[in-house]
């Protein structure tokens, strides 16, 4: 990954992440990103160079939307302001606790969004911690305190299938093709399916959506920086969301390597 995302490119992608107005100032480091990327074989290294660049642009595009500090008239444009936040904005953030025998919520702990992908809910913190190597149930705060762990949760989410959803990685790396039911639901390979995976219930199948447009804007900027075309099917305007029942189920890592 470091051969595609050099430290100079990383700093260009996330140009204003360390501005004084960004609450995550000084948190998201290049070394932490590379350490997390190296922990997941196949991430950003699958397929030809065009495929690799598109996957990394997509990863940063989606996570930048989740952590953006941009606004329409921001210096260098709104899409130069990814990674301004490391914790969900809100006062106070919700508990995000769902009753679970496998991942029971710990007293006094809250599972609101943290890190690049804003991982949320106890049923995500538990499996993420198990995969990455921390106690996600009893120590969710580490995701906002340790940059390497924070990036690892984001890459874990990216690489992990949530049946019936494919993994974001498999979509961008070319390892997923639509089934008959996917085609009937308007889902086709491309960046739009990644948005559907992440937040389809709120953003997909409703025509143009400002949140979708923000995700696409980041992705296009990053593709431009990396010198790669965008590919097809960038939006999910006409895609039906994937099923929701799987959201509370433990995730299985099934990736293209």
Residue-wise pLDDT tens digits, 204-219:
999 999 999 999 999 9
Predicted confidence (pLDDT) per residue in 41-51, tens digit: 999 999 999 99
Q: Is the pLDDT of residue 116 over 80?
A: yes
Residue 140 near residue 113 (C-beta atoms within 8 A): no
Model pTM above 0.85 = yes
Cα 14 to the center of its chain, rounded Å: 15
User: Alpha helices of 15-146 — where are they, by DSSP H?
Assistant: 30-38, 49-66, 122-132
Q: Is the pLDDT of residue 251 over 70?
A: no
Length of the chain: 257
Distance CA 25, CA 181 (A): 44
What angle is formed at CA 134 by the lines to CA 115 and CA 38, rounded to 5 degrees? 65
pLDDT tens digits, 165-202: 999 999 999 999 999 999 999 999 999 999 999 999 99
Give CA–CA dist 60/6, Å, rounded.
Answer: 14
Q: Are 70 and 42 in contact (CB under 8 A)?
A: no
Mean pLDDT taken over the chain: 92
Q: What is the mean pLDDT of residues 212-230?
A: 98
| Segment 54-81 mean pLDDT | 97
Choosing among 3.30.1320.10, 3.40.718.10, 1.10.530.10, 1.10.510.10, the CATH entry for 7-86+153-226 is 1.10.530.10
Q: Please, which residues have CB within 8 angstroms of residue 185's CB and are 6 or more apart in sequence?
A: 239, 240
DSSP symbol at 252: B
Q: Could you give the CA distance from residue 167 to residue 156 in angstroms, rounded to a whole number? A: 10
Catalytic residues: 66
The pLDDT of residue 242: 93
Report the 10 Å Cβ neighbour count for 216: 19
Supply the pLDDT for residue 54: 98
CB neighbours (10 Å) of residue 227?
9
pLDDT band at residue 143, thresholds of 50, 70 and 90?
very high
In angstroms, the first-to-last Cα distance of the chain is: 14
């Amino acid at each position: 990954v470091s051969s595609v995302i050099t430290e100079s490119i990383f700093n260009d992608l996330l140009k204003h992440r360390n501005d004084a107005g960004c609450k995550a100032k000084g948190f998201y480091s290049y070394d932490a990103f590379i350490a997390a990327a190296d922990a997941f074989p196949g991430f950003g290294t699958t397929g030809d160079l065009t495929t690799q660049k598109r996957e990394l642009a997509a990863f940063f595009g989606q996570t930048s939307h989740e952590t953006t500090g941009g606004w329409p008239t921001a210096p260098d444009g709104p899409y130069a302001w990814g990674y301004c936040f490391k914790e969900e904005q809100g006062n106070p953030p919700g508990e995000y606790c769902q009753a679970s025998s496998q991942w029971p919520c710990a007293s006094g702990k809250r599972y609101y969004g943290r890190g690049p992908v804003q991982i949320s809910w106890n049923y995500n913190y538990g499996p993420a911690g198990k995969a990455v190597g921390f106690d996600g149930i009893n120590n969710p705060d580490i995701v906002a305190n340790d940059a390497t762990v924070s990036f690892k949760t984001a890459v874990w989410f990216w690489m992990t299938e949530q049946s019936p959803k494919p993994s974001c990685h498999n979509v961008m790396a070319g390892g997923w093709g639509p089934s008959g039911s996917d085609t009937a639901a308007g889902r086709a390979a491309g960046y739009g399916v990644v948005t559907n995976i992440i937040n389809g219930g709120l953003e997909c199948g409703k025509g143009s959506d400002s949140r979708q447009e923000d995700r696409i804007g980041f992705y296009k900027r990053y593709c431009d920086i990396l010198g790669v075309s965008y590919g097809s099917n960038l939006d999910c305007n006409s895609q039906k969301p994937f099923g929701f029942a799987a959201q509370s189920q433990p995730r299985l890592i099934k990736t293209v390597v």
